[in-house]
Structure formats: C-alpha cells, structure tokens
Amino acid sequence: MRAPTDLGAPTTPGSPTPSSGGRKQRSGRGGWRSSGVMLLVMGFLILVPAGFVLLAAFSETVPRPGSISLDLTVGNFAVLGEPGVTRATLNSLLIATLSTVLALAIGGFLAFTTARTNIPFKGLVYLFGLMPLFLPSYVGALAWSILGSPAAGLLNIGLRDLGLTGFVDIYSIPGVVMVMAVFYAPYAFLLIHSSMSLMNPDLEDASAVHGGSQWRTLRTVTFPLAMPAIVGSALLIFTHVLENFPVAQVLASPGQIDTLPTFIYRLMNASPSRGNEASSVAILLVVFILVITWTQRVLLSRRAYTTVSGKGVKARKVDLGHLRWPLFVVATGYFLIAIALPILALFLTAMRTSPYMSSFRDLTAPGALDASSFGTVARSDVFLTAAGNSVVVALLSAAGGTVLAFLVAYIVYRTRARARGLLEGVSMVPLAIPAIVLGIGLLWTWLVMPIPLYGTLWVMVIAFLAVQMPQGLRGIAASIQSTDKDLEDSAVLHGAHRARAITAITVPLMKVGLTSTFLILLMLSMRELTVPLFLYTNDTRILSIAIFDQFENGGALQQAAAMSLIYCLIMFVLSCLPRLLGSRGGLNNH
C-alpha cells in the first residue's frame, strides 16, 4: 500500500522528498495508522466498559481495583429464573409494546394532520408535536407523579373538589405507558412527518388518475410509502422505552412494578450489591435490544426509499371537512397532557408554601403561593454547583464528541483506511447497550483504571463521549456525506496540504453540520440521567442528578420542582441556539 495523498499526518509539509523510496508498506489513506489510533480510542471508551459487564456476568466477583476475577461461572444466570426477573421482563415488554403503539398513534396522527391536511393552526399543531422534546422524560415523569399519584395527586385533588372520587393512578402500567408514549411520540412525529411531506405527489396523483378515491389513495399509496418511517420509528421507540430507566423508576417503582432497568438498578443498589447478577440481567436486556436492532436492519434494508424526490414538492392536501375542529381539539389534548399540565403542576409545586394540600381552595388563602422559591433555589449551593458542573461537563463532552465524531467520520467516509467498517461498527455499539448497562460498565472501568479519574468531572465527560458517540457520528456522517469530496481534493490539487484542505475547505463547509451536532450533544449531555447515576459523587453532581435526587429522597419537592423549571428553561434556550446560529450563517453567504 503506497499512498500519495495522506491524511495529512504522515508527510511533513516542508520535506523535499515526501516519500523516501523503497518502503512498500506506507500508512495513510489505505493503511492502519489513522484507523488504528481511532480504533484504540473507541475500544477504550466503549468496548472496555461493555467487556467489563460481560465479564462480571460470567464471574464470581465484580471488577475491583487490583482484582479482576477470571474464575468464570454461569451461576449468575440463575437469577434469570427468579420470578422477579420474569415479571420485570414481561412488564418491560408489555410497557414497551403498548407505549410504542400509543406513541405511533399520537405521532402518526400529528404528522399526518400537519403534513397532509388543512387542520386549523397547522404551525401550532406542528409545535405541539415537537415540544415534548424540550422536556426531559424524567422531568415529565416527576411532574406526572405530582399530578397523578393516587393519594396527593393534583388531578385527584381536583376531582375530589368536584365531588368525584379520585381515580387517577399514575403509579400503574397504564400510567407508565401513557407518560412514555407522550414523551416518545415526537420521534414518530418527526420521522413520519418528513416522510409524508417529502413524498412525491406524482405517486398519489397517479393513483387518483387511475381511479383511486382519496381514502383509497391514502390507504394503498400514501401509508405504504410512509411504512419505512413508521416501522423505523416504531422500533426506535420500542428500544428507547425498553431501556428507559428514569420514567420507570419514578412511576413504576412506587407501584411495586419492576421493569428490567429498574430491576438491574435495584440489584446494583442492594446491600450487599449484587453486581454480577445485575450484569446477567443486563445481558438479557442487551439481547432484547440486539434482536430489535437486527430486525430493524432486516426490515428496512428491503425497502427502497424512492419516495424522496428532493425537489421542492408540494404534497397533496386532504380536506378534513367538518372534522377540522374536532381533530384540532384532539391535538390540543395531547399538548395539555404532554406539556401544559406537567409545567403547571411544576409551577404550582414550586410556588406552594405549604407542602400539604387537600383541596384547590387552599390556594386562595393569603400567602399560599409565593415565587420566592425560584430565587432561593437559583442561589442555593446545590443548584449552583450542579449547574456549573452540568455546563462544564456538557460543553467538554459536546466539543470532544464533535471532534471524535468528525475524526471517525472522516476516516470512515473519506479514506481507504483499513478496518474503517469496524471503526464505524464499534462507534455505533452504544446504540445496542442500554444506558443503565453502559453506566455500570463505565463505573467498573473507571474504578479499576489506574488513572485516578473516578470522582472527578472528567469521568462524566468520558462517559458521555462513549454514550453519545452514535448520535454524534450520525450527525457528522450525514454532513460529511453531503459535502462533495471533490471540493477538498480540489484544494489539494491546487497546492494545499491535506490538513490545510480539511481546515480551509471541509470544516467551513460542514459548519452547519458540526454546529448542530455540537448542540445535539450538548442537549443530550444536559439531560442524561441514567449513566451519571452510577458515576456521580457528592462533588460531581450535575443538574439531572440533583433534581432526581431531591425527588427520590422525597423531602425537597418544592426545590426540585423549581429546579426542574429552571432546567427546562436552560434546555429551551439551548435548543433555540441552532436556529439563531443558522440564520446568522445564512446572512454570511451574501
């Protein structure tokens, strides 16, 4: 392998003879050098923690500093025979299935009405579909536990005020399913919406011309064409719900309902800790996720995505007739459940001076409501430390993640380096490992490592780099693939060194993709709860942990509610940044 055009590193710009003769094995575009280094980095970040979980599942003791047990056993898998595991498995599958169906119904309904009908206030309905993304699912779960707990839930208090018996119990499987579905519906909404609005209208016109009625066209052409998006989002939501820990912990555990993630968490937190058995249950969860991911590949690879025409098409619109307003009311109902009620509940809880309330009439008493808790919380040490930690961790991991993802994407899509398929595969591994499992693996890894990072913010950064690698790589990969490679090659031919060509041409052209990937990673780091749950210490709490902690430990409901709202505000501002930056970037082009 000889390479004239290196990745930039192997030949120095000033050397008169860039390649000395005689060496047959030269690294570079076709070699190992770049891919080898990145494989080591990714293996260290991702495969080592995964490997520790696997090892723990098959050994007597969990990995500890200085002692990694190699006495292999399958005894830990006996735990899988316990009735608790069977119940947790069935609960997990039941919740995931029902939530997926409900989320698809909600997301599909909103997508269809906004993309293809004349529903009133279409822009507003579109926003309804997106908004739950700004609310981390556990904040939603906490808010719904305030709303729907059987004894003191605000909804039940309200019902009793109206003279009815309170009958809402959010600590139940239907409750968990509803909250999961409401918060994962945006995934279905986004995927199905883009599929429906990009569909080539000629395909539907052809049906109409050949005698298909509107309803028949929808049924035989439109929905089948949207099938890849529907199936894709269904599997995506199913895996997310299956591995979701926070919602299940907040809403299912109080009702004595276990899911696989909460079961793993309880085994880990049992005393003495049952880490090896937790690992074997974790393996079971990974197997489920792998099967689903594999199914997704098989199903979707058979489909041709020929519906996207790329031109500025105008999709056909369906006239809803007298159903326009009723359907708008349905969409508004979703907004109430997903956003309005939870936010109101948090506000009310944050502002109530007394933690006890038996009727909404109590609120009319003088001094019953007071906004001072926001100020108190915003000045409190707990909040300031956690907020500071969150910002530092999120910025570092988003920046680091973007750089790593760019390097991997460049090697995978722009070079002929060896093992680049393997590199991409390793980078995508975290998709198949639930956050709770990866969290355990990262904990053991950094307890065992001779590098003293455990207990510092760095270990959080490293954990986030590992967990969010797939999302980062997807964002960058899409951007690098849509940037013509000729543009960079052209700079090299016109005299620029490869490294210079990358920085002067490729990176500026990918500015939008890089920025949005950075912001996505920033958001993900800000809201991640499960992985840091195993890694935090008293000094390294981040916001998500601080909120979760205060709720779980019961006492500080008011502070937690206030903190949640401030936190949501921060998230909202962050999510608006891409649009602001994007529009400024647009102005620069003129």
Q: Which residues bind another protein (CB under 8 A)?
A: 1-6, 11, 18-19, 21-24, 26, 29-30, 484, 486-487, 489-498, 500-501, 505, 508-509, 511, 589-590
What would the two tokens of residue 284 be? 């079971």
Place of tokens 């003191």: 152
What is the 8-class DSSP label of residue 319? -
Angle between the 457-481 and 435-448 helix axes, to the nearest 10 degrees? 130
Determine the Cα–Cα distance for residues 375 and 364; give it in Å rounded to an integer: 22
Nearer to another protein, 452 or 586 (CB): 586
Which residues are 318's β-sheet partners?
117
CB 516 → another protein: shortest distance, Å?
17
CB 480 → another protein: shortest distance, Å?
15
Nearer to another protein, 242 or 505 (CB): 505
CB 411 → another protein: shortest distance, Å?
17
Determine the Cα–Cα distance for residues 506 and 485; give it in Å rounded to an integer: 8
Nearer to another protein, 483 or 559 (CB): 483
What would the two tokens of residue 556 be? 């500080």
CB 268 → another protein: shortest distance, Å?
47
Nearer to another protein, 474 or 500 (CB): 500
Nearer to another protein, 320 or 492 (CB): 492
In angstroms, what is the C-alpha Rg of the chain? 26
CB 515 → another protein: shortest distance, Å?
14
Which residues are 484's β-sheet partners?
none
DSSP string, 231-282: HHHHHHHHHHHHH--HHIIIIIGGGT---HHHHHHHHHHSSS--HHHHHHHH
CB 582 → another protein: shortest distance, Å?
15
CB 416 → another protein: shortest distance, Å?
8
CB 513 → another protein: shortest distance, Å?
13
Count of all residues that appear for the chain in the document: 590
Query: Helix-strand-coil percent breakdown of the chain, rounded to 5?
Result: 75, 0, 25
What is the 8-class DSSP label of residue 369? B
Task: Measure the CA angle with vertex 194, ends 295 and 467; round to 5°.
Answer: 55
Say if CB 567 and CB 547 are below 8 A apart. Answer: yes
Q: Which of 406, 391, 431, 409 is nearest to 525 (CA)?
A: 391
User: Which amino acid is it at 7?
Assistant: L
What would the two tokens of residue 181 be? 């579905």
